[in-house]
Structure 1
Amino acid sequence: MKIDLAVRQGETLHVFQKPLGAAAASRVTLTTAGGGTIVLAGPRSDDFTRSEAADLADGPAVLEFDEAATAVSLVYAFDPARVIDEGIRTLFTTERNRQVSPRYRLHLAPPFGWMNDPNGLSEVGGRMHLFYQHYPHSLRWNTMHWGHAASRNGIHWADQPIFLLPRAELLASDAKVGGVFSGSAVPAADGSLRVFYTDREDDRTPNWEWQMTAVSTDLLAPGAATAVVTETPDLPGYRKDFRDPYVFKGPDGRWKMLLGGGDDQAALVLLYESDSADGAEGWRFVGVLHSEPTTQKLPAECPCMVALDGEGDGLFVLIFGMLGSRDEVSRRRNMTIALTGRFDGARFTPIRRDELDHGTDCYAFQGIAGANGPFGISWAANWTDVFKEHDFPSCMTFPRRLVWQEGALSTPPIEAVAELRLPQPPRPLTADGSAMPLADGLGEIEIEIGEPGAPFRLAFDHPTFGVALDYDGDKLELDFVPPGKRPSPRYFVEDVRPTTLRMFVDVGLIEIYVDNGRFCFTKRIDSDEPVSAIRLDAPVAAATGRLYDLRPLR
Structure 2
Amino acid sequence: MAERLKYHFEPRTGWINDPNGLVFFQGKYHAFFQHYPFAPRWGQMHWGHAVSEDLVHWEELPIALYPDREYEDSKQGGCFSGCAVVKDDVLYLIYTSVSDRHGQTQSVAMSRDGVRFDKYDGNPVIGLFPAEASADFRDPKVTYMNGAYYMVVASGKDGIGKILLYKSQNLLEWDYEGVLFEGAQFGGILECPDFFPFEDKYLLMFSQMNCDTRSTMFAYGDFDGKKLTNYSLHTPHIGPHYYAPQTFQDHRGRRILIGWLFNKDEKLNGGTDYAGALTIPCELSMKDGKLRAYPVEEAQGLLSGSDELVVVEDDKIRIKADNVAFPVEYSSRIDSVRVLRDTKTIEVFVNEGEAVFTYWYYAGK
Normalised to the residue count of structure 1, the TM-score between the two structures is 0.61
Within-5 A mapping of 1:313-352: 314-325=200-211, 332=212, 335-352=215-232
In the TM superposition, residue 163 of structure 1 has moved relative to its aligned partner by 0.4
Question: Are the aligned partners of 2:25 and 2:114 in contact in 1 as well (CA < 8 Å)?
Answer: no
* Match for residue 279 of structure 1 among 166, 171, 174: 171
In the TM superposition, residue 101 of structure 1 has moved relative to its aligned partner by 5.1
Give 1:288's aligned amino acid: V
Within-5 A mapping of 1:307-318: 307-308=197-198, 312=199, 314-318=200-204
Q: Does 1:230 find its partner at 2:127?
A: yes
Give 2:308's aligned amino acid: A
Within-5 A mapping of 1:208-247: 208-225=103-120, 226-235=123-132, 238-247=133-142
Per-residue CA shift, 1:276-297, capped at 9, x if unaligned? 2x3111x1211111113249x6
C-alpha distance in 1 between matches for 2:96 and 2:318? 37
Question: Are the aligned partners of 2:14 and 2:274 in contact in 1 as well (CA < 8 Å)?
Answer: no
The aligned counterpart of 1:179 is 78
* Match for residue 354 of structure 1 among 234, 242, 245: 234
In the TM superposition, residue 528 of structure 1 has moved relative to its aligned partner by 5.5
Question: Are the aligned partners of 2:214 and 2:240 in contact in 1 as well (CA < 8 Å)?
Answer: yes
The aligned counterpart of 2:280 is 398
The aligned counterpart of 2:151 is 257
C-alpha distance in 2 between matches for 1:125 and 1:350? 38
Q: Does 1:481 find its partner at 2:322?
A: yes
Per-residue CA shift, 1:500-526, capped at 9, x if unaligned? 111011111000011111110000123
Residue ranges of structure 1 left out of the alignment (5+ in a row): 1-99, 326-331, 421-443, 448-457, 461-467, 530-554
C-alpha distance in 2 between matches for 1:323 and 1:124? 31
Question: Are the aligned partners of 2:71 and 2:124 in contact in 1 as well (CA < 8 Å)?
Answer: no
Q: Does 1:299 find its partner at 2:189?
A: yes
Q: 3-state SS of the aligned residue for 2:299?
A: helix
The aligned counterpart of 2:354 is 518
C-alpha distance in 1 between matches for 2:128 and 2:267? 30
Question: Are the aligned partners of 1:501 and 1:515 in contact in 2 as well (CA < 8 Å)?
Answer: yes
Larger RCO (CA under 8 A, 6+ residues apart): 2
The aligned counterpart of 1:199 is 97
In the TM superposition, residue 350 of structure 1 has moved relative to its aligned partner by 4.5
The aligned counterpart of 2:328 is 491
Q: 3-state SS of the aligned residue for 1:410?
A: strand
* Match for residue 3 of structure 2 among 102, 115, 139: 102
Within-5 A mapping of 1:77-116: 102-116=3-17
Residue ranges of structure 2 left out of the alignment (5+ in a row): none
The root-mean-square deviation of aligned C-alpha atoms, in Å, is 2.6
In the TM superposition, residue 386 of structure 1 has moved relative to its aligned partner by 8.3
In the TM superposition, residue 478 of structure 1 has moved relative to its aligned partner by 2.8
State the identity %.
30
What is the count of residue pairs matched by the alignment?
360
Q: 3-state SS of the aligned residue for 1:227?
A: coil
Question: Are the aligned partners of 1:334 and 1:382 in contact in 2 as well (CA < 8 Å)?
Answer: no
Question: Are the aligned partners of 2:138 and 2:155 in contact in 1 as well (CA < 8 Å)?
Answer: yes
Normalised to the residue count of structure 2, the TM-score between the two structures is 0.90
Cα 1:229/1:334, change in 2 over 3 Å = farther
Q: 3-state SS of the aligned residue for 2:358?
A: strand
C-alpha distance in 2 between matches for 1:169 and 1:227? 10
Per-residue CA shift, 1:268-311, capped at 9, x if unaligned? 1111112x2x3111x1211111113249x631111112322xxx
Q: 3-state SS of the aligned residue for 2:298?
A: helix
Cα 1:306/1:169, change in 2 over 3 Å = closer
Q: 3-state SS of the aligned residue for 1:161?
A: strand
Q: 3-state SS of the aligned residue for 1:446?
A: coil
Question: Are the aligned partners of 1:153 and 1:416 in contact in 2 as well (CA < 8 Å)?
Answer: yes
* Match for residue 143 of structure 2 among 248, 267, 273: 248
C-alpha distance in 1 between matches for 2:27 and 2:305? 30
Q: 3-state SS of the aligned residue for 2:295?
A: coil
The structure with the largest strand share of the pair is 2
* Match for residue 41 of structure 2 among 123, 140, 144: 140
